[in-house]
Structure 1
Amino acid sequence: MAAPSSTLVFKVHRREPELVRPAKPTPYEVKLLSDIDDQQGLRFHIPVIQFYKHAPSIRGKDDPVAVIRRALSETLVPYYPFAGRLREGPNRKLMVECTGEGVLFVEADADVRLTEFGDQLQPPFPCMKELLFDVPGSNAVLHSPLLLIQATRLKCGSFIFALRLSHCMSDAPGLVQFMSAIGEIARGSHAPSIPPVWERHFLSARSPPRVTHTHREYGQQASNTLTTMHHNLDSMAQISFFFGRSQLSALRRHAPPHLRQSYSRFEILASCLWKCRTVALRPGPEETMRMICLVSMRGKFSDPPLPVGYYGNTFAFAVAEAPAGELCRNPLGYALDLVRKAKGEVTEEYMKSVADLMALTGRPDFLKTRWTYLVSDVTRAGFETVDFGWGSPVYGGPAEPDVGPVPGLANFCIPCKNKEGEDGIVLAISLPTQAMERFVKELESMLKSPPNVTKTFTHVMSAL
């Protein structure tokens, strides 16, 4: 099979974008988002992409684009808020006006085969703007479609499903729930097996609101923020790293022996990346370095329990902090302890405190300073299970390696297979070119040490 190519060029023929409306009349009403949903840090659109290999559908020669369009229309009946538009009220409060206007849908054909994308599908993908067309005027947070979907047929009979979601509406598991509902109806069901639940009041501020925790994730924005590191994107490099069993095992050996098996894969990776990135950026030893981990509370609420079928945002930004000198000087166990402690602080009461803080302080953004780094784990979100009738995708998940609009600030941990078919996690790191060289050297050192651990991680560099 062809090797991955960031220079792959192909032509896409698109039909005019259309609005797909619910298949039946739906209620006209205004629904408030939760105070977790409408914080400033989620007011952007997030792209997802699914690659499906050519295979007979469950009904033979069905056209995937037609099947998905019809199933989308039927799914929008129970998920009718997605067919509405976001409005903003007093105190920047977001709400959905359930107008039934519909979601944007683009039908397309591409003169390329799936194999030409390479034998290791992972972001960044070539010609992403062709596979998910940015319909002019569609990407605003307010008064715009909440979903943009493009279904693209390939020359070989395979197809690509790409989607852009207003993040205020759902987190990754909530989006997968919606996509899976489309898949169930596409395969012949009359209704989703998990009925959608709105009930955003479960994660709304209390009356009166009371902030019971310290929330460093929403602290004072520093003046030397993003511009210092990201002022010249031409000087940035991006490397995609694959971490399989051997690489994770090598990193785990840097943890204290009696705790090695107690740390999750995410904790190991997040701590390693935080340490290597700090070494690469060369901050002053007294600079405060921040690692923000997204911690999902889905399934962890008890007072009251969050209903099954809830598809809103259910995570918090957990913050670990350390002086740069200490982070660089100490073994990995130092960072691991800080990351685990930060995650452990996110409780049910912590989430309620976040919601109260949003209501009291005008829904601030999470910290985006020069020394902040955010990692989001989507390995268990379920993108790889979404089936529209042609089986599971060969890749399913984020379409871009970075989270949000600022290169290098945040990354996804994405489930992926390498070219040998081994399951693992891929991360694409963006750093200034000289810092990237130092990052690679530091990571290679951690993967080589202790002795007799073979370095086998792969990386592919591309200019941003």
Structure 2
Amino acid sequence: MENAGNSSFQLRVKQEEPTLVTPAEETEKHLYFLSNLDQNIAVTVRTIYCFKSDAKGNEEAAKVIKEALSKVLVHYYPLAGRLTISSEGKLIVDCTGEGAVFVEAEADCRIEEIGDNTKPDPITLGKLVYDIPGAKNILEIPPLVAQVTKFKCGGFVLGLCMNHCMFDGISAMEFVNSWGETARGLSLNIPPFLDRSILKSRNPPKIESQHHEFAEIEDISETSKVYKEEMLYSSFCFDPEQLKQLKEKAMEDGVLDKCTTFEALTAFVWRARTQALRMQPDQKTKLLFAVDGRSRFEPPLPKGYSGNGIVLTNSICRAGEQLEHPLSFTVGLVQTAVKMITDSYMRSAIDYFETTRARPSLAATLLVTTWSRLSFHTTNFGWGEPIFSGPVALPEKEVILFLSHGKERKSVNVLLGLPASAMKIFERLMHV
């Protein structure tokens, strides 16, 4: 179930000088509002899309993708701007039309030689995404940076660095798919809805819920010391049969009458991680995960809402409680956290940030982020769908990522990093 990496391989990539791709037509120049849901996750996310080429070759790839970017930026013009700080001390986009950064590159090998790219590998895969030299913070990194790397086999990789404050997973995929549609001469299937002021905080703010996602938990188990060890990254693949067994295991004691794949898998990995990090029984452990709020807002967010429509929910329990009880106990905690996400809770979270400017604390916390429902595999610039797509690295050491896998996308890859001693235990616990 575990995938080991190809450690002896050294990828060599020659990058050309970066250029700026501006929108193909004149676009609005103004300051563009980012909601409090955008403010909360202003981290860069690096992803890659690997395309094989049989007959078509990769000679035209960079040209086609670059021209399509210029056209699609007309619809997504804030991406051609620059992040700055508003008079209120918040992130805002200055829509200058300067353009996205675009880099052409060449690798000295075949695409297959990259090896196992199902697990985060910042060293190898990081070479496929352009880093802005000397950037000290996110304000010095344009919202969109793209690199097209040609391989000797005729295949190519599109590597993207995007700021999470511009998109959540759903809107990022809508953007990349729109870019692909533009490259194929099609009109946009889902045009973006750009006005984020529909998620403005209320005046005056109304905090109607408790927001434990921001709570700082004391690390009485001193897990921060364990994290000084070497970090190991792994991916564990759960096929449909294993996912079915996991759901059955969650319901076998009769406490729950139903449970989703996400709930069972999240509970399973949360429990295993608590065990692997050898948390003391009285150690509180927090689970954070994002719920798509698009359909849960009243009224629902418009189709094509281009921004973060996700809201963090949470659950907190003692490590001992988790391990003394069967899996159904932890699944129940996950289910309660999902149910918490109502319009009232989400509006309250927006107002909470407005009042406190707090960021969720990650001490003694697991942050599960699920990309398994995202349509990464449908991106098509004219060379068919990618043979692989996914993240270059995990944004934080506390993150576990779920990614759909396999031809029919029915399997789930669980990606994570843990200190070496904890990873040994975690691997043992991954057998369903």
Report TM bin, short chain: over 0.9
Is residue 288–residue 323 contact of structure 1 (8 Å, CA) maintained in 2?
yes
2:404 is the alignment partner of 1:431: no
Q: Residue 353 of structure 1 aligns to which amino acid in structure 2?
A: S
Structure 2 counterpart of 1:440, one-letter code: E
1:299 aligns to what SS in structure 2?
coil
Partners of 1:229 and 1:432 within 8 A in 2: no
Cα distance between partner residues in 2 of 1:260 and 1:248: 16
- CA shift in 2, pair 1:76/1:148, >3 Å: same
Task: For 1:37-436, list aligned pairs within 5 A.
Answer: 37-39=38-40, 42-56=41-55, 63-118=60-115, 121-125=117-121, 127-138=124-135, 140-189=137-186, 191-220=187-216, 222=218, 228-229=224-225, 232-234=228-230, 236-257=231-252, 262-301=258-297, 303-362=298-357, 364-369=358-363, 371-400=364-393, 402=394, 404=395, 406-407=396-397, 409-417=398-406, 423-436=410-423
Aligned to 1:12: 13
Cα pair distance change 1:185/1:176, threshold 3 Å: same
On the 8 A contact 2:101/2:144 being kept in 1, the answer is yes
Contact 1:395 1:416 in 2 (8 A): no
State the distance in 2 between where 1:17 and 1:61 align: 19
**C-alpha distance in structure 1 between counterparts of 2:68 and 2:15, whole Å:** 20
The separation in 1 between residues aligned to 2:207 and 2:109, in whole angstroms, is: 54
* Residues 27 and 139 (structure 1), Cα distance of their counterparts in 2 relative to 1, 3 Å cut: farther
| Aligned partners of 1:244 and 1:422 also within 8 Å | no
Give the secondary structure class of the aligned counterpart of 1:411.
Answer: strand
Partner SS state of residue 164, structure 1: strand
Structure 1 residues 414 and 261, CA, compared in 2 at 3 Å: closer, same or farther?
A: farther
Q: Give the whole-Å Cα distance in 1 for the aligned partners of 2:199 and 2:205.
A: 12
The equivalent of 1:457 in structure 2 is none
Using the alignment, how far apart are the partners of 1:312 and 1:88 within structure 2? 18
Distance 1:167 1:360 in 2: 22
Residues 292 and 394 from structure 1, CA distance in 2 versus in 1: closer, same or farther, beyond 3 angstroms? same
Matched residue type, 2:324:
R
Q: Distance in 2 between matches of 1:176 and 1:226?
A: 38
Normalised by the size of structure 2, how large is the TM-score?
Answer: 0.93
Would the aligned equivalents of 1:254 and 1:331 in 2 still touch at CA under 8 Å? no
Letter of the aligned partner of 1:83 in structure 2? A
Cα distance in 2 between the residues matched to 1:133 and 1:226: 36
Aligned residues: percent identity?
34
Aligned to 1:37, what secondary structure does the other structure show?
helix
* Residues 274-305 of structure 1: CA deviation (Å, up to 9, x unaligned): 1111111122211111111111112333x333
CA contact (8 A) 1:122 1:416 kept: no
For the residues of structure 1 that align with 2:20 and 2:342, how far apart are their CA atoms? Answer: 40
Matched residues, number: 427
- Higher mean Cα deviation, 277-286 or 328-337? 277-286
Structure 1 residue runs of 5 or longer lacking an equivalent are 448-464
Q: Note the C-alpha offset of 1:92.
A: 2.6
Q: How far did residue 255 of structure 1 move?
A: 1.3
Cα 1:317–1:200 change in 2 (3 A) is same
1:260 positional shift:
7.2
2: CA distance, partners of 1:139 / 1:314: 28
Deviation at 1:115, TM superposition (A): 2.1
- Structure 2 SS opposite 1:298: coil
The Cα of 1:227 is off from its aligned counterpart by 7.8
| Paired residues of 2:83 and 2:91 also in contact (CA < 8 A) | yes
Structure 2 distance, partners of 1:6, 1:70, is 36
Listed one character per residue, the Cα deviations across residues 52-104 of structure 1 (whole Å, up to 9, x for unaligned) are 111345xx986111100000011111111000011112443221110001111
In structure 1, C-alpha distance between the alignment counterparts of 2:62 and 2:380, rounded to whole Å: 14
Equivalent residue letter for 1:383 = F
1:416 deviates by 1.9
Letter matched to residue 190 of structure 2? I
Tell me: CA distance 1:4–1:372, structure 2 relative to 1, closer, same or farther (3 Å). closer
Structure 2: runs of 5+ lacking an equivalent: none
Give the whole-Å Cα distance in 1 for the aligned partners of 2:257 and 2:223. 40
Inter-CA distance 139–340: structure 2 relative to 1 (3 Å threshold): farther
Q: TM-score, normalised by structure 1?
A: 0.86
Contact 1:226 1:368 in 2 (8 A): no
Measured against aligned partners, the alpha-carbon deviations of 1:198-250 in whole angstroms (never above 9, x if no partner) come to: 1111222011110111000012364779982465252x222221111232133
- 1:415 corresponds to which letter in structure 2? S
- Change beyond 3 A, Cα 1:211–1:328: same
Cα RMSD (Å) of the superposition?
2.3
Q: Displacement of 1:323 after TM fit?
A: 1.0
Amino acid of the residue matched to residue 54 of structure 1? Answer: S
1:95-142 superposed Cα distances (whole Å, 9 cap, x missing partner):
111000111111011111122234x54122461232112121447322
1:165-210, Cα deviation, whole Å (9 max, x unpaired)? 1111110111111111110110012x42322111111222011110
SS in 2 for 1:92: coil
For residue 25 of structure 1, report the CA deviation from its aligned partner.
1.3
Q: Deviations over 1:395-452 (max 9, x none)?
A: 122222x2x2x32x0121011239xx984111223222222222222333xx2xxxxx
